[in-house]
A and B are shown apart, each in its own frame.
Chain A
Amino acid sequence: MPKVTIDNIEIEVPDGTTILQAARMIGGDVVPPAMCYYSKLETSGGYCRTCIVKVTQGSAKDPRPMPKPVASCRTPVMDGMVVQNRTAPDLLEARNGVVEFLLINHPLDCPICDQAGECHLQDLSYENGLAKSRYEFKRREFDKIDIGDKIKLHMTRCILCYRCVKVANQLCDGRVHGVLNRGDVSEISTYIQNSVDNDFSGNMIDVCPVGALTDKTFRFKSRVWFTKPMDAHRDCKKCDGKVALWMSNNEVLRVTGRKDTYGELESWICNECRFDKKEVSDWKIEGPRKIDRHSVISQNHYESLRQLKIDVSKQKNIAEKAHQDNK
């Protein structure tokens, strides 16, 4: 079993593990962000370049550093590899650059976007982005299109992570959607606005890291942080029926799959569970769902407020001190 050191933490991992998976085994701050990698989808990853890391020692056998930063999601670890993520300032600078590239053509319409609150791009730009854009030109725009009667595609928001294409390739039969054109005008689309009509096509909504693919049965119903996530299940012939319900009072506003710490689905759910079962009586509710990560959703509902209060008082003190210093 190869041993790899990531940010000075050593871990032994099975053969064939990628750097990103190894970092996730360690957990915490050393995990690089990943916008396009999805562990449940084969050949995903490598496109967005946010997960780049610096390899300062290739392996025990060949200790040369790798000349360029590598995509951690697609690079397998070697025995004796030494990786830097948060500890390399030049790498963080490079990652900030990638985030800036992802944002220059993103409309930043978070106030009207259904994904806001559970958007990976929001988290990413909060952690690595600039406060102000240096891009001063017109942003790329596309028309919104309906792909099928349940899914809305808003290509303007897309960051071309290819996850939905992989879903279409690997989960659905009779694939009708993919990438058209090339360069910065390439777009995810169906062939001449064909509809995506498949029992598992709804999963592309869940894998979309931004608000490009949204659930038409939920669009503009509520901000996600006003809804309460509940674990629930039902007997379903197509999928295992384990879902998260997003409720407001006794109303089921939205059904999604259950997402883990890294925003990845625990299991794929079918379109019937996702779009058609919107009554509480359809489901056996297990209890409130804990939302991991630093999401606004979990801040509202589940995190201890004491933590927040401490932070507020600390900031107050700092502000007062600064005020006095200025005097």
Chain B
Amino acid sequence: MSRQLLLEHINTPGIRGIKAFREKGGYSALEKALKTMKPDEVTEEVKKSGLRGRGGAGFPTGMKWSFLAKPDGVPRYLVCNADESEPGTFKDRYLMSHIPHSLVEGMIVSSYALGANTAYIYIRGEMLYVYHILEEAIAEAYEAGFLGKNILGTGYSLDLYVHPGGGAYICGEETALLESLEGKRGNPRIKPPFPAVKGLWQSPTVVNNVETIAAVPHIINMSGDEYAKIGIGKSTGTKLISACGHINKPGVYEIELGVPVEEFIYSDKYCGGIRNGKKLKAVVAGGSSVPILPGEMILKTPTGEPRLMSYESLSEGGFAGGTMLGSGGFIVMDEDTSIVKNLWNFTRFYHHESCGQCSPCREGTGWMEKILHKFMDGHATLKDIDLLWDIQSKIEGKTICPLGDAAAWPVASAIRHFRSEFEDYVRNPEKIKDIKHYYRLNNLQPVS
């Protein structure tokens, strides 16, 4: 196993509690940062580390922090986005439920760097048991004097709250998350202004993913320059990958960025190869919204180099020949998987989760689902493939928030790489027998 930071002590008994966590060096970064460093120095270390947002977009965290507006007399907030709801992604839940203190410590150090005196963890409503775990961890941190007024006698005060959402995918979008946190309907805001200028309660706010924040204490402990040595090129550090699908060993793996995709799928250290000795058909590399890639394209870049698990390598080839690292939800499909059926399921999800604010996404996602339903029902025509393509191109980039893009990319990539399979569904309706059975089992009504 390569270098581990976040999950290094995952197997230590009692690591969920503060005692075991501190024995393993927990909260040392907090003491180092608050006692020996100025807030700007912490930001500087994070900048040096080259840490990039782990939520999906991969924006450099240090840069994001330095964009935060700092007007006098206005409070600043740090909000942790723990609304992990991308299909295929389950790394944050794993981290929070097993080592909650790593997030709490990260929140304190990051808030100190940003000068925030109030911080929030917005957690997805379905993960209520994790909410209780975090509440417990925060209570322990208060008791140990790591939270509250005058932390460790340094004069810095911080209050940390956990807020459960209602379980909507859209609330993982940062501005919708802020709306929801304010107690309103979780609709994304129209940007500009960006949260760094006007975020929570119209105050400057930084929204970061759980994994990003949990990586900050490690950067402080080992210094930004050391952290930057892990990984490859501009993809520094380690990343949690939640691997699922038709593999022998699904689960959450911490990798050093830059591991070859082939090694990740087939090596016994990680996924352990395809289940039942089948062949690899396709991979969705970063949660359901990134483009799907056929097996041979995920293993090799368009230039013939082996593809690596890094932000750059995975997106090599642009949208036609590449994909994205995204949030690290690595979905592997074997040769028996139906791409059309899979796409129908994804699109159904986006239709259900569209907030309904702007027209292309509200109407387009439903339309795409209905057309894919036609494929499932066996009365699609070849024209429908072109129509699907046209609809997705009219959603992409026209919406307020990235949900429109997230709904359009899977459709675009599936048609781009697996068009023959769509045609197959049109020409051989007997293929869909199993789907009708699926309907009956799940009591679903075909769309009229």
Whether the pair A101, B351 counts as a contact (CB closer than 8 A) is no
Docked Cα-Cα span, A135 to B397, in Å, equals 22
| Residue in contact with B398 in the complex, picked from A97, A134, A160, CB distance below 8 Å | A97
Whether the pair A186, B356 counts as a contact (CB closer than 8 A) is yes
Pick out which of these stretches binds chain B: A67-75, A209-217, A275-283: A67-75
Q: Does A138 contact B (CB under 8 A)?
A: yes
Q: Does A229 contact B (CB under 8 A)?
A: no
Known: A98-B398, A179-B185, A182-B168. A49 touches B360 (CB 8 A): yes
Residues of A within 8 Å of B370, CB to CB, are 137
Q: Does A172 contact B (CB under 8 A)?
A: no
Docked Cα-Cα span, A160 to B354, in Å, equals 14
Q: Does B337 contact A (CB under 8 A)?
A: no
A195 to chain B: closest CB distance in Å? Answer: 22
Docked Cα-Cα span, A94 to B364, in Å, equals 13
Residues of B within 8 Å of A135, CB to CB, are 367
| Residue in contact with B351 in the complex, picked from A97, A137, A160, A183, CB distance below 8 Å | A183
Residues 367-393 of B, flagged 1 when their CB comes within 8 A of A and 0 if not, give 100100000000000000001001001
| Residue in contact with B356 in the complex, picked from A50, A134, A160, CB distance below 8 Å | A160
Residues 142-157 of A, flagged 1 when their CB comes within 8 A of B and 0 if not, give 0000000000000000
Q: Does A196 contact B (CB under 8 A)?
A: no
Q: Which residues of B from 217 to 272 have beta carbons under 8 Å from A?
A: none
| Residue in contact with B362 in the complex, picked from A50, A75, A76, A183, CB distance below 8 Å | A183
Q: Does B417 contact A (CB under 8 A)?
A: no
The interface centre, meaning the residue of A75, A104, A159, A184 with most chain B CB atoms within 10 A of its CB, is A184
Q: Does A225 contact B (CB under 8 A)?
A: no
Residues of A within 8 Å of B363, CB to CB, are 101-102, 104-105, 184
Whether the pair B353, A49 counts as a contact (CB closer than 8 A) is no
Q: Does A46 contact B (CB under 8 A)?
A: yes
Residues 40-61 of A, flagged 1 when their CB comes within 8 A of B and 0 if not, give 0000011111101000000000
Residues of A within 8 Å of B364, CB to CB, are 101
Residues of A within 8 Å of B448, CB to CB, are 137-138
* CB-nearest residue of chain A to B393: A97
Q: Does B444 contact A (CB under 8 A)?
A: no
Docked Cα-Cα span, A71 to B360, in Å, equals 13
Q: Does B416 contact A (CB under 8 A)?
A: no
Whether the pair A183, B352 counts as a contact (CB closer than 8 A) is yes
Q: How many residues does chain B have at the interface if contact means C-beta atoms less than 8 Å apart?
A: 32
Residues of A within 8 Å of B190, CB to CB, are 45-46, 71, 74
Whether the pair A183, B367 counts as a contact (CB closer than 8 A) is no
Q: Does A118 contact B (CB under 8 A)?
A: no
Residues of B within 8 Å of A74, CB to CB, are 190
Residues of B within 8 Å of A68, CB to CB, are 397-398
Q: Does A206 contact B (CB under 8 A)?
A: no
Docked Cα-Cα span, A48 to B359, in Å, equals 5
A58 to chain B: closest CB distance in Å? Answer: 12
Docked Cα-Cα span, A68 to B356, in Å, equals 20
Q: Does A100 contact B (CB under 8 A)?
A: yes
Residues of B within 8 Å of A105, CB to CB, are 363
| Residue in contact with A184 in the complex, picked from B351, B387, B394, CB distance below 8 Å | B351
B172 to chain A: closest CB distance in Å? Answer: 14
Q: Does A304 contact B (CB under 8 A)?
A: no
* CB-nearest residue of chain B to A99: B359
Docked Cα-Cα span, A52 to B356, in Å, equals 18
Whether the pair B398, A49 counts as a contact (CB closer than 8 A) is yes
Residues of A within 8 Å of B387, CB to CB, are 134
* CB-nearest residue of chain A to B391: A97
Residues 95-114 of A, flagged 1 when their CB comes within 8 A of B and 0 if not, give 00110111011000000000
A135 to chain B: closest CB distance in Å? Answer: 7
* CB-nearest residue of chain B to A48: B359
Q: Does A181 contact B (CB under 8 A)?
A: yes
Whether the pair B355, A183 counts as a contact (CB closer than 8 A) is yes
Docked Cα-Cα span, A182 to B360, in Å, equals 14
Residues of B within 8 Å of A137, CB to CB, are 367, 370, 447-448
Contacts A48-B358, A178-B185 known; list 18 others, CB within 8 Å: A47-B358, A47-B359, A52-B398, A68-B398, A76-B192, A97-B390, A101-B362, A101-B363, A104-B363, A104-B367, A137-B370, A160-B356, A182-B356, A183-B353, A184-B351, A184-B356, A184-B362, A186-B355
15 residue pairs of the A-B complex, CB under 8 angstroms, read A46-B400, A49-B399, A69-B398, A76-B192, A94-B394, A97-B394, A104-B363, A105-B363, A135-B367, A179-B185, A179-B356, A182-B354, A182-B356, A183-B356, A185-B356
Residues of A within 8 A of B (CB): 45-50, 52, 67-69, 71, 74-76, 94, 97-98, 100-102, 104-105, 134-135, 137-138, 159-160, 162, 178-179, 181-186
Residues of B within 8 A of A (CB): 168, 170, 185, 190, 192, 351-360, 362-367, 370, 387, 390, 393-394, 397-400, 447-448
Q: Which 5 A-B pairs have the closest CB atoms?
A: A97-B394, A186-B356, A46-B190, A101-B363, A68-B397
